[in-house]
Amino acid sequence: MVDKLFAEGLDYVINFAAESHVDRSISGPEIFVQTNILGMQNLLEAARKYWP
């Protein structure tokens, strides 16, 4: 889905998918890392494919 959006020619991307509760990062760090770090990495990798 992200690739399709970038292929359409986006000018801006805002990532609202972050896990923001610190207490959840302590009780479940795997989900915190997967959502915040790996999710952002996937978004950046998709953007890089279509960088002019």
Per-residue confidence (pLDDT) for residue 19, from 0 to 100: 80
pLDDT value for 23: 87
Distances (CA, A) of 18 to 4, 9, 14, 32, 46: 21, 24, 11, 8, 17
The stretch 32-43 carries a mean pLDDT of 89
Mean pLDDT of the chain: 87
Residues in Cβ contact with 22 at an 8 Å cutoff, skipping those fewer than 6 apart? none
Overall residue count recorded for the chain in this entry: 52
CA distance from start to end of the chain: 20
Percentage of the chain lying above the pLDDT 90 cut = 13
Domain boundaries, the chain: 2-49
Condensed to tens digits (0 to 9), the pLDDT of residues 2-14 reads 888 888 888 888 8
pLDDT of residue 21: 84
Contacting residues for 43 by C-beta, under 8 A, at least 6 apart: 2, 13, 15
In this prediction, residue 45 carries a pLDDT of: 92
Coil vs helix vs strand at 3: helix
